[in-house]
Structure 1
Amino acid sequence: MTGRRPSCQGAHMAAADWVPGLKAVSTYRPAWLPKDVIAGIVLTTLLVPQGMAYAELAGLPAITGLYTSVLCLLGYAVFGPSRVLVLGPDSSLGPMIAAVILPIVASDGDPAKAIALASMLGLLVGVFMTAAGVLKLGFIADLLSHPTQLGYVNGLALTILIGQLPKLFGFSVDGDGLIEETTGFIRGVAAGETVPAALAVGAGGLLVILLLRRFLPKIPGILIAVAGGILAVVVLGLTDDGVDVVGPLPQGFPPFTVPTVSWSDLGLLAAGALGITLVSVTDTISTASAFAERTGQEVRGNQEMIGIGTANLAAGLFQGFPVSTSGSRTAVAFTAGARSQLTGVVGAGAITLMLVFVPGLLKDLPQPMLAAVVIAASLSLADPAGLRRLWRQRRIEFGLAVAAFLGVALLGVLPGIAVAVALSVLNVFRRVWWPYQAVLGRAEGVDGYHDLREYPGAERIPGLVMFRFDAPLIFANARTFREEIRRLAHADPAPRWILVAAEPITDVDTTAADMLEDLDEELNAAGISLVFAEMKSPVRTKIDRYGLTRTIDPAHFYPTIEEAVAAYRMISSLPEEPAT
Structure 2
Amino acid sequence: MTADTSRRADVRRWIPGLDAVLTYKPAWLPRDIIAGVVLTALLVPQGMAYAELAGLPAITGLYTTIFCLLGYAVFGPSRVLVLGPDSSLGPMIAAVIIPIVGSGGDPARAVALASMLALLVGLMTVLAGIGRFGFIADLLSRPTQIGYMNGLALTILVGQLPKLFGFSVDGDGLIAEAAGFVRGLVDGETVPAAVTIGAAGIVVMLALQRWLPKVPAVLVAVVASIAAAVVFDVSSRGVDLVGELPRGFPPFTIPWLSWSDLPLLIVGAAGITLVSVTDTISTASSFAARAHQEVRGNQEMIGIGSANLAVSFFQGFPVSTSGSRTAVAMRSGAKTQLTGVVGAALILLMLLLVPGLLRNMPQPTLAAVVIVASLSLADLSGVKRLWRQRRVEFILCMAAFLGVALLGVLPGIGVAVALSVLNVFRRAWWPYQAELGRAEGVAGYHDLRSYPDAERLPGLVLFRFDAPLIFANARSFREEVSRLSRTDPRPRWIVVAAEPITDIDTTAADMLEDLDEDLNAEGISLVFAELKDPVREKIDRYKLTRTIDPAHFFPTIEDAVATYRAQTGAGWATDDPPSRRSP
**TM-score in terms of structure 1 length:** 0.98
CA distance in 2, matches of 1:552, 1:537: 17
TM superposition shift of 1:564: 1.4
Structure 2 residue 501 is the aligned partner of structure 1 residue 501 = no
Match of residue 450 from structure 1: 446
CA distance in 1, matches of 2:539, 2:552: 12
The root-mean-square deviation of aligned C-alpha atoms, in Å, is: 1.1
Deviations 1:110-130 (A, max 9, x none): 000000000000111111111
TM superposition shift of 1:23: 0.8
TM superposition shift of 1:108: 6.6
Matches within 5 A, 1:377-392: 377-392=373-388
**Count of equivalent residues:** 576
Match of residue 252 from structure 1: 248
TM superposition shift of 1:191: 1.9
Matches within 5 A, 1:97-246: 97-106=93-102, 109-246=105-242
Aligned-partner residue type, residue 512 of structure 1? A
CA distance in 1, matches of 2:562, 2:309: 66
Corresponding residue SS for 2:357:
helix
Contact 2:103/2:170 (<8 A) preserved: no
Deviations 1:501-558 (A, max 9, x none): 1111111111111101100111111121111111112111211121111111112112
CA distance in 1, matches of 2:489, 2:299: 61
Q: 2:52 aligns with which of 53, 56, 60?
A: 56
Q: 2:80 aligns with which of 80, 84, 87?
A: 84
Match of residue 296 from structure 2: 300
Greater mean deviation of Cα atoms: 160-169 or 529-538: 529-538
Q: 2:576 aligns with which of 566, 575, 578?
A: 578
TM superposition shift of 1:8: 3.1
TM superposition shift of 1:313: 0.7
Distance 1:194 1:235, change over 3 A: same
CA distance in 2, matches of 1:431, 1:502: 17
CA distance in 2, matches of 1:440, 1:427: 27
Distance 1:571 1:86, change over 3 A: same
TM superposition shift of 1:492: 2.4
TM superposition shift of 1:495: 1.5
CA distance in 2, matches of 1:16, 1:554: 53
Corresponding residue SS for 1:460:
coil
Deviations 1:169-193 (A, max 9, x none): 1111111111111111122112211
Contact 2:69/2:307 (<8 A) preserved: yes
CA distance in 1, matches of 2:168, 2:75: 41
Distance 1:303 1:437, change over 3 A: same
CA distance in 2, matches of 1:548, 1:11: 49
Matches within 5 A, 1:169-568: 169-568=165-564
TM superposition shift of 1:493: 2.5
Contact 2:457/2:570 (<8 A) preserved: no
Aligned-partner residue type, residue 509 of structure 1? D
TM superposition shift of 1:247: 1.0
Corresponding residue SS for 1:465:
strand
* Identity across the alignment (%): 73
Deviations 1:306-356 (A, max 9, x none): 111111011010000000011000000010000111100000000001000
Aligned-partner residue type, residue 505 of structure 1? I
TM superposition shift of 1:253: 0.9
Contact 2:458/2:570 (<8 A) preserved: no
Greater mean deviation of Cα atoms: 567-576 or 130-139: 567-576
Corresponding residue SS for 2:356:
helix
TM superposition shift of 1:52: 0.2
Deviations 1:193-226 (A, max 9, x none): 1110000000000000000000000001111111
Query: Which ranges of structure 2 fall in alignment gaps of 5 or more residues?
Result: 579-583
Deviations 1:551-577 (A, max 9, x none): 111121122111211222233222364
CA distance in 1, matches of 2:444, 2:292: 42
Match of residue 19 from structure 1: 15
CA distance in 2, matches of 1:414, 1:310: 23
CA distance in 2, matches of 1:420, 1:107: 27
**TM-score in terms of structure 2 length:** 0.97
Deviations 1:455-508 (A, max 9, x none): 111112222111100011111111010011111112222212211111111111
Deviations 1:56-89 (A, max 9, x none): 0000000000000001001111111111000000
Contact 2:513/2:548 (<8 A) preserved: yes
Aligned-partner residue type, residue 221 of structure 1? A
Aligned-partner residue type, residue 443 of structure 2? D
Aligned-partner residue type, residue 367 of structure 2? A
TM superposition shift of 1:264: 0.1
Greater mean deviation of Cα atoms: 59-68 or 11-20: 11-20
CA distance in 2, matches of 1:567, 1:14: 56
Distance 1:107 1:290, change over 3 A: closer
Corresponding residue SS for 1:492:
coil
Contact 2:118/2:317 (<8 A) preserved: yes
Match of residue 581 from structure 2: none
TM superposition shift of 1:7: 3.5
